[in-house]
Each structure stands twice: as C-alpha cells, then as structure tokens.
A = this chain, B = another copy of it.
Amino acid sequence: MCRFVAYQGHPVVIADLLYRPRHSLVHQSHHSEEFSLTFNADGFGVGFYVGADPTPCVMRATGPAWSNRSLASLSEKLFSERIFAHVRAASPGLAVQATNCHPFWHDRFMFMHNGGIEGFRKAKRRLQNALSDAAWELIEGSTDSEHAFALFMDEIGGAAARPTTGELRAALVRTLARLREIVAAAGASDAMACNFAVTDGRSTVVTRYAHAINREPASLYYSAGSMYVCVDEDGDMRPPEGPRHGAVIVASEPLTRNTEDWQPVPANHSVAIAPDGSLALEPIEI
C-alpha cells in the first residue's frame, strides 16, 4: 500500500505538503501511523500544474523519498495550485521502477492509488482486454493502479475530455464499478481497497473505498479552509469563509497536529473539489 496527498487551492510551496509539517508525506514515508506497514520506500512521485499550463509536470523516481535530495530541493522552491504526491510501498512481486510510481498521468489527467486489488494478478489479462486501444497503450508498468488509471481514461472518454467536477467523479465511480465487474468475471477475488485520487488540473476527486475486505478502507482525511499556512513544523489551515475554500488538502494521514483541522472521509465516500474550491462529500454507490 502507499500514502498520498492531493492539494487544490491557492499556490503553496510543495515542501509545505511533503516536508515541513510534523507528519508530512515524507514523514509518512518512514513513519506511517495508520497503516500496518510503517514505511513506504519503494519509490515516489510528485505532479503539479505550473501557471496556466493545462498539463502537469511530474517527477517520479525509485528509492525512498526521504533520501532524494532533488525532491527536497525542488519541493523547497516550486509552488503550485494543484499538487499530487505519493509514496509507494510496492505490492509483493511488483517491480520497483519509475513506471510503477504514482501519479500516473496522461495529457491533463493525473491519478494515484493507495490500496490494492486482490484479484489483480488473476484478472490482469481480462482487465487489459477490457481497455480501448488508446487506454491500453498508456500502460507502461505492471501495477494494478496503472490498470485502474487506464480504465478511468476510458470512462472519462479519453485525453480530450474536459469534464465538470461531477463528470470527473462519475467517471471515477464507474471505474470502481467496472473494476469489480471485471475481476468478478475473471473468477478472481473482488476484494479491493481503492483510495483513488484523480484530477484534470481543475477539479480533484478522491475516493475512500473498499469492497469485500474485513476492515475499513485505508485511512483518508481532508482539511479545507481559506488558506493553508505552514510555519516551521506547524501547518495551519485557516477557517473557511463560506462554501468555497481557498485551500483543500486530502491526505492518507493528517499532515499537521491541529487535529481539529482534519476530517476523516467516511468509508465508501468520495471528496470532490470543484475549480472554485467548493467541496462535496458523497457516498459511493455501486
């Protein structure tokens, strides 16, 4: 499994998510607290949009995030309004290589996954057969996550799609539904833990979802307010003013110790952030 963080709002320096707060994503990479495996050392990735450029900039590499000095230096200097970052704990047997690191991306879209699809190995060929040529050709690595991303690209209608927030969410929920159908049709276990995050550079949707497993979905929290400010080790989310948020963080674990800033996402719910910063929490019904 893995840990991730998604940010949407006023420009923040990447380090305010990855390094500075007490329980930053890089801290989670070696001291995860809400997951049976405490470390996520099998590669990492960070993707973000620069100015008005509609397609993201993505850095992915193998090795632990905590010792990568290029990541530290870039994070310290670069600002963005839309940031995805991920630290990976590889599923057994899956290669540690950059093409297996998240976020996956294509054109305007970025995608990341925390969890696992139990029947993946058995259903993998059927999953590929279910893809359009365009989506199939996106697959470069060997993870269940990237296969889910390819399914999503089909559900959203391909790279040319310009979805509303609702359409983005609907495509992500259909991706979950199709995943279940396909693994079941393959005679594989349909147990899965699928915290997915997707963005088209305007909206962001994150799911906290599990099916047929005997525990809660992987942990997921959000923090929303007018502004996110990180001073020294203490990140602070300023209270919201009205329904639109200047800053929304969705993260596998709270980044800061201000626990009142963080709301758990209920099991089998999605968080959707519209371009204007309004936020919707909805149950996932499949």
- Residues of chain A having any CB pair with chain B under 8 Å: 30, 38-39, 41-42, 50, 53, 56-64, 67, 69-70, 73-74, 76-78, 90, 95-99, 124-125, 128, 133, 136-137, 140, 142
Contacts and interface: CB of A to CB of B under 8 A. Distances in A.
A90 B67 CA distance: 9
Given A41-B39, A62-B63, A77 B57 contact: yes
A134 to B, nearest CB: 11
A95 B30 contact: no
A42 to B, nearest CB: 6
B38 A50 contact: no
Contact of A74 (B42, B57, B96, B99): B57
B98 A95 contact: yes
Contact of A42 (B64, B95, B99): B64
A78 B124 CA distance: 34
Contacts of A137: 124-125
Given A38-B39, A70-B59, A78 B95 contact: no
A77 B50 contact: yes
A128 B128 CA distance: 10
Contacts of A99: 95, 97, 142
A73 B96 contact: no
Contacts of A97: 95, 97-99
Contacts of A30: 39
B59 A74 contact: yes
A272 to B, nearest CB: 26
Contacts of A128: 128
B60 A69 contact: yes
18 contacts: A30-B39, A39-B41, A41-B41, A50-B77, A53-B77, A56-B77, A57-B77, A58-B69, A58-B73, A59-B74, A67-B90, A69-B95, A70-B98, A97-B97, A97-B99, A124-B137, A128-B128, A140-B142
Contacts of A41: 39, 41, 64
A67 B53 contact: no
Closest 4 CB pairs of A and B: A57-B77, A97-B97, A59-B70, A67-B96
